[in-house]
A = this chain, B = another copy of it.
Amino acid sequence: MRADARRNLDKIVEAAAAVMAERGVGVPMEAIARRAGVGVGTLYRRFPDRNALIAAIGEHYVHSLAEALREAAENAPDAWSGLRGFVLWAVNPGRAALATALAELPDETFLDMAEFAVTRRRWLEGLDELVRRAQAEGGMRADVDTEDVVSLMNLFVCHPADLPAHVAAQPVRFLHLMLDGMQASAATRLPGDPAEDAPRV
């Protein structure tokens, strides 16, 4: 692989991550190419379709998530503030924002990316562990689960262009509100609790 080709590849992945974070995963290929400063031809030579591109970005993304999570879990004074800090970091619009798109990608896309799947699973497990710990320590309400946390992240992260203007302007503000709602001290009864909402026979 020639040196310039290599450089372009990096520029493309970086640009795609940025543009998709800004305008959603469905952004025109040409917009990505333009941002990367290359022609669409170059883009297509490297990535036969959008999914390949998403998968490539996802790989970077998940790695950085895993890294940040590890760091948060280790350095925070307690599990809940670690979790809070991690989510705030991860949703920063500057980071690539692809969790939902990744989740929706057909499995075939990852055929030759075994390592990626492993990292992803490990990340989810790490998050789950941190959540449980935060709950055990009493910082986080017990009726919220890991999947809720992931959804919360996705809510702000996946289609920034479609968010109401005020939310898009300061997503961090709303993130704080949500996180505050996840605190143990905020707990009210949440719907969807199987024990409570089961149909009475």
**Chain A residues within 8 Å of B, Cβ to Cβ:** 100, 103, 144, 147-148, 150-152, 154-155, 158-159, 162-167, 170, 172-174, 176-183, 185-188, 190-192
The answer to whether B154 touches A158, judged by C-beta atoms less than 8 angstroms apart, is: no
Which chain B residues lie closer than 8 Å to A182 at the CB level? Answer: 177, 180-181
A112 CB to closest chain B CB, in angstroms?
A: 26
- Interchain CB contact under 8 A, A154 and B148: no
CB distance from A30 to the nearest CB of B (A): 21
22 residue pairs A–B, Cβ–Cβ below 8 Å: A148-B166, A148-B174, A148-B177, A151-B174, A154-B166, A155-B174, A159-B159, A159-B162, A170-B191, A172-B191, A176-B181, A177-B190, A179-B181, A180-B181, A180-B182, A180-B186, A181-B182, A181-B183, A183-B188, A185-B185, A185-B186, A186-B186
A154 touches B181 (CB 8 A): no
Instruction: Known contacts A155-B155, A159-B159, A181-B181; decide if A176 and B164 are in contact (CB<8 Å).
Output: no
User: Is there contact, CB below 8 Å, between A176 and B188?
Assistant: yes
CA distance A174 to B151 in the complex (A): 9
Residue of B nearest to A155 (CB): B167
Chain B residue nearest to A189 (CB atoms) is B176
Q: Return chain B residues, CB-CB under 8 Å to A150.
A: 166
Query: Contacts A155-B163, A183-B186, A186-B183: A177 and B147 contacting too (C-beta < 8 A)?
Result: no
Knowing A155-B167, A183-B186, A186-B181, the reply to whether A148 touches B173 (Cβ < 8 A) is: yes
Q: Is the CB of A192 within 8 A of B172?
A: yes
Cβ 8 A contact of A152, one of B100, B158, B174? B174
**Bound complex: CA A69 to CA B167 (Å):** 23
Task: Determine the distance from Cα of A199 to Cα of B159 in the docked complex, in whole angstroms.
Answer: 30
The answer to whether B166 touches A147, judged by C-beta atoms less than 8 angstroms apart, is: yes
Tell me the bound Cα distance from A147 to B177 in angstroms.
Answer: 14
Q: Write out the residue numbers on chain B whose beta carbons fall within 8 Å of the beta carbon of A186.
A: 180-181, 183, 185-186
